[in-house]
């Protein structure tokens, strides 16, 4: 529906281009007519979701849907994974220098030797070979949680609201998200173990995707556990964390823009410094 939508109530609120529809029980009317569950959301958000599920940007980690009609609507899908992948890449290229062929690794002082210069095992690689299974174990937290019935009516500034968190949404958060996390983390672990240094670039991407799924599931589980009886705060912190995520992604894009937006992301060997003639 165009305009402000109270999804929990299944109705639009003061729609500027739909006179007479203010607080009309759209969801309840359609569910009664069709005997099927009905979700009511803003048209731009559903447009972004439809494009993500079935359009040319299917399953893209980040997507912006702009609708221009009587008014202008904007829907966005932003992935935690995108920020994590960019953070891993930026940390590697600017701080750790693990992937660089010429710069010394920042962990060199902690290792007995560096795999870049000697036939020794890489310490950082061994750390990640232990870290990834540890992160996979954390996926057991949402997987062992049970969905719960959450639905109640309340009044805010004289306006009645129904707050709920559908079981299907909870199953996405505590079943699909952690299972997807385990899948991507397993692939990252396999590439890192089997391909050595050649498996590092794809492993970073897969690790970021897996941790992104896991972070989403854990965050929603924690919010529901804390605010199941006060969903106003659940919605508030859900929106607040999304805003923080947008700001974090913008920060990552600005800080690491040279590396992320480079046409050739590869490292070019640096010219060796020449000694001045005596």
Q: What is the pLDDT of residues 116-149, one digit of tens each?
A: 555 555 656 777 788 888 989 998 899 999 888 8
**Helix 200-227, helix 231-255: angle, nearest 10:** 160
Please name which of 76, 62, 10 lies closest in space to residue 41, comparing C-alpha atoms: 10
C-alpha dist (Å) from residue 168 to 149, 172, 175: 11, 6, 10
pLDDT of residue 260: 60
Q: What is the model's pTM?
A: 0.61
pLDDT of residue 186: 92
Would residue 97 be called left, alpha or beta, if left means φ above 0 and alpha means ψ between -120 and 50 degrees?
A: left
> How many beta carbons lie within 10 A of that of residue 18, not counting itself?
14
Query: Of 39-43, 118-122, 170-174, 237-241, which gets the smallest average pLDDT?
Result: 118-122
Residue 93 near residue 257, CB atoms below 8 Å: no
> How many beta carbons lie within 10 A of that of residue 51, not counting itself?
18
Which residues are CB-contacts of 16 (< 8 A; sequence separation ≥ 6)?
3, 71
Asked whether residue 150 carries a pLDDT value surpassing 50, the answer given is yes
Q: What is the pLDDT of residues 192-214, one digit of tens each?
A: 888 766 777 788 788 888 888 88
pLDDT of residue 8: 63
DSSP notation for 186-224: HHHHHHHHHHGGGGHHHHHHHHHHHHHHHHHHHHHHHHH
C-alpha–C-alpha distance, residues 120 and 131, integer Å: 20
Which residues are CB-contacts of 212 (< 8 A; sequence separation ≥ 6)?
61, 79, 80, 81, 82, 83, 84, 181
Q: What is the pLDDT of residues 165-176, one digit of tens each?
A: 778 778 888 998
C-alpha–C-alpha distance, residues 167 and 172, integer Å: 9
């Amino acid at each position: 529906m165009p305009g402000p939508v109270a999804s929990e109530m299944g109705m639009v609120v003061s729609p500027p281009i739909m006179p007479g529809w203010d607080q009309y029980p759209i969801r309840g009317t359609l569910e009664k007519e069709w005997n099927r569950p009905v979700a009511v959301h803003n048209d731009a958000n559903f447009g972004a979701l439809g494009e993500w599920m079935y359009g040319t940007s299917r399953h893209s980690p980040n997507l912006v849907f702009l609708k221009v009609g009587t008014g202008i609507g904007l829907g966005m899908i932003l992935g935690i994974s995108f920020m994590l992948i960019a953070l891993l890449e930026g940390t590697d290229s600017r701080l750790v220098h693990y992937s660089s062929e010429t710069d010394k690794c920042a962990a060199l002082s902690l290792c007995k030797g560096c795999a870049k210069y000697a036939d020794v095992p890489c310490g950082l690689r061994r750390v990640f070979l232990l870290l990834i299974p540890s992160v996979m174990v954390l996926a057991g937290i949402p997987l062992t949680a049970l969905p719960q019935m959450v639905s109640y009516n309340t009044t805010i500034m004289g306006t009645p609201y129904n707050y709920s968190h559908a079981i299907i949404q909870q199953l996405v958060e505590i079943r699909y998200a952690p299972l997807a996390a385990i899948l991507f983390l397993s692939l990252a672990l396999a590439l890192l173990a089997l391909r050595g240094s050649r498996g590092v670039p794809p492993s970073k991407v897969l690790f970021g995707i897996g941790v992104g799924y896991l972070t989403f599931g854990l965050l929603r589980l924690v919010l529901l556990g804390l605010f199941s009886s006060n969903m106003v705060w659940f919605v508030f912190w859900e929106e607040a964390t999304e805003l923080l995520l947008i700001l974090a992604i913008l920060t990552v894009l600005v800080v690491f823009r040279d590396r992320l937006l480079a046409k050739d992301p590869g490292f070019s060997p640096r010219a060796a410094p020449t000694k001045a003639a005596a």
